Chain A
Amino acid sequence: MNRTVFPHKLLPWLLVTPQLAITVIFFYWPAAQAFRQSMLREDAFGLSTSFVGFSNFRRVLSDPNYLNALQVTVIFSILVAFCAMSIALFLAVQAEKIVRGKGFYRTMMIWPYAVAPAIAGMLWLFMFNPSFGTLAWPLRQLGIAWNPLLDGEQAMGLVVAASTWKQISYNFLFFVAGLQAIPRSLQEAAAVDGASRRHAFWTIVFPLLAPTTFFLLVVNTVYALFDTFGIIHAVTGGGPGKSTETLVYKVYNDGFVNLIMGDSAAQSVILMVIVIGLTAFQFRFIERRVHYG
């Protein structure tokens, strides 16, 4: 059935104009600039630019530093997404069993959501600071040469921990909601069929959580790709020796620190393509879910 609407023709345009204007000025224009710039090359003094086609892309994609950043990003994202989701799922399942005190636990769990990524990074750095971190101290006592500022793997461990910590809240809320949405009758049916609790979880609950899990997978990937910039910038600055330099970090580094505009723009374009791919993936999937009801 056709929706009834107001008959005005000019008013709606006035209403969408602010958002359209902001979107065009701060989104489409810069995006177009990025595309343009990704095809240009400035000379060493920034005096002239010339059109170079896809050569910026070719150079970026064959640059070992870029490939390193890509590898770091993939490892980092997988670790963060896996840790943040599995811990959150585990806790959500525990919370489901609890009758009294659920609200209290939820309140305690959502705090990190409100902490800025950069500050999350700083907090973890405070705790694990090699010279005065309270939690670095026992590591030292155990004879571990703990120094994330010098050791690449330890640095990666620290940013993964901080990033995971911040994302657990979000995942926890979604898993709790997802678990609550599963009809109890299905679990009852499984119990009647003689399934053990553990078995029922993996064969009934977990598959039914798939939509939530899938959604969170996309969100966590996007989070690990972009929102963690602050954490990395605050904790390691991409170091030591580029061991925690992710794609976004490199865009920032090349564009604002090293001032290689063409390369930075080409990297922006590649990132946009990645995000658009992820979005398309998510929407295809959401559409399918709608069909299943």
Chain B
Amino acid sequence: MAETSDGPLAARASSKALAHLWMILGVIVVAFPIYYVVIASTHSTQTILRPPLPLLPGAEAYSNYKNAFSGGISKMGGVSLWRLLGNTTLIALGIAIGKIAISMASAYAIVFFRFPLRMVCFWVIFITLMLPIEVRIQPTYKVMVDLGLIDTYPGLILPLIASATATLLFRQFFMTIPHELLEAARVDGAGPWRFFKDILWPLSLTNVAAIFVIQFIYGWTQYLWPLLVTNSNEMNTIVIALKKMISFADADTPWSLVMVTSVLAILPPILVVVFMQRWFVKGLVETEK
């Protein structure tokens, strides 16, 4: 944005300084809750329970985290922190990869083939676009019970894959591929699989990355659905486990461990978003419009 740095329309120095001030204020408000919990996770339960909390890290960081990983959490929730993180990772990855796989396949079929009932298929998928699982939880839950999917990974993953967003997104992107590219590939002798593998997939990588981030976050942050279809603590996600810890909070609750769990529940998705920011922002803004 070098060209915006001067010229009559560039912000004056004073207004620029003011803008920085506002942004810093905004960042403080936005980042404070996260900073707060990170700080809290480094203090002892006694310190946490005696407000105000110091704004600098405490000395208990090592012992809190060590305690959490070496069984402190198991005592509270019945399963280890590793298991919780493992479950959540598996579900988030399952949703992200599953969604990319099935939606790429169906978008590929809809854009690059002509077959009977093609538009019917498209609409059947398209209508599900904006109906989140929250509006049909009760009957969906019943379906899960009927299929015996309660307390299973497929039960946690599959219903959340049933959405049209990624399909529409891939369809939109595939339609921007010049059709001469397909023709050239066909003349070169490529069939559907080779065209996908050699040409479409490499060209889709940015979009795949964007959708991966968005869906990974979506999977990681799921709440209502895991709450319903998991009875056993073994199947809990870290978000659900955290909620359970707080629900049964009493004077003896080791808040320092709750804070550690909170940090571990928010850190992985934040890292994914920050490190894949470029694709994430592009994917979010360009595709959801």
How far does the Cβ of A133 sit from chain B's closest Cβ, in whole Å?
Answer: 6
Give the residues in chain A near B139, CB-CB below 8 Å. Answer: 29-31, 33-34, 37, 265, 268
B37 close to chain A: CB less than 8 A:
yes
Mark out the residues of chain A between 128 and 152 whose CB falls within 8 Å of any chain B CB in the assembled complex: 131-134, 136-138
Mark out the residues of chain B between 93 and 119 whose CB falls within 8 Å of any chain A CB in the assembled complex: 101-103, 105-106, 108-116, 118
Give the residues in chain B near A110, CB-CB below 8 Å. Answer: 273-274, 277, 280-281
Give the residues in chain B near A288, CB-CB below 8 Å. Answer: none
Contact bitstring B6-21, A, C-beta under 8 A = 1, else 0: 0011110001101110
Residue of A nearest to B140 (CB): A30
Q: Which of A54-62, A70-78, A98-106, A202-210 forms contacts with chain B?
A: A98-106
Q: Is the CB of A9 within 8 A of B37?
A: no
Given A116-B239, A226-B132, check contact A191 B224 (CB 8 Å).
Answer: no
A177 CA to B135 CA in the complex, in Å? 31
Q: Is the CB of A27 within 8 A of B128?
A: yes
Contact bitstring A1-43, B, C-beta under 8 A = 1, else 0: 1011110110111011011101111111111011001000000
Q: Is the CB of A8 within 8 A of B192?
A: yes
How far does the Cβ of A142 sit from chain B's closest Cβ, in whole Å?
Answer: 14
Q: Which of B49-57, B65-73, B75-83 forms contacts with chain A?
A: B49-57
Which range holds the interface residue count of chain B? Answer: 35 or more
A222 close to chain B: CB less than 8 A:
yes
Residue of A nearest to B181 (CB): A4
A136 CA to B52 CA in the complex, in Å? 9
Q: Is the CB of A27 within 8 A of B131?
A: yes
How far does the Cβ of A121 sit from chain B's closest Cβ, in whole Å?
Answer: 9
* B186 CB contact (under 8 Å) in A4, A12, A251: A4
Contact bitstring A224-253, B, C-beta under 8 A = 1, else 0: 001101100110000000000000100110
How far does the Cβ of B153 sit from chain A's closest Cβ, in whole Å?
Answer: 15
Give the residues in chain B near A170, CB-CB below 8 Å. Answer: 284
A90 close to chain B: CB less than 8 A:
yes
* B140 CB contact (under 8 Å) in A26, A97, A107: A26
A114 CA to B82 CA in the complex, in Å? 20
Q: Which of A113, A120, A187, A191 has the most CB of B within 10 A?
A: A113
A79 close to chain B: CB less than 8 A:
no
Residue of B nearest to A11 (CB): B192
* A109 CB contact (under 8 Å) in B20, B26, B135, B141: B26
How far does the Cβ of B288 sit from chain A's closest Cβ, in whole Å?
Answer: 8
* A251 CB contact (under 8 Å) in B114, B135, B259: B135
A residues neighboring B (CB under 8 Å): 1, 3-6, 8-9, 11-13, 15-16, 18-20, 22-31, 33-34, 37, 87, 90-91, 94-95, 97-99, 101-102, 105-120, 122-127, 131-134, 136-138, 165, 168-170, 173-174, 177, 184, 187-188, 191, 215, 219, 222, 226-227, 229-230, 233-234, 248, 251-252, 255-256, 261, 264-265, 268, 271-272, 275-276, 278-279, 282
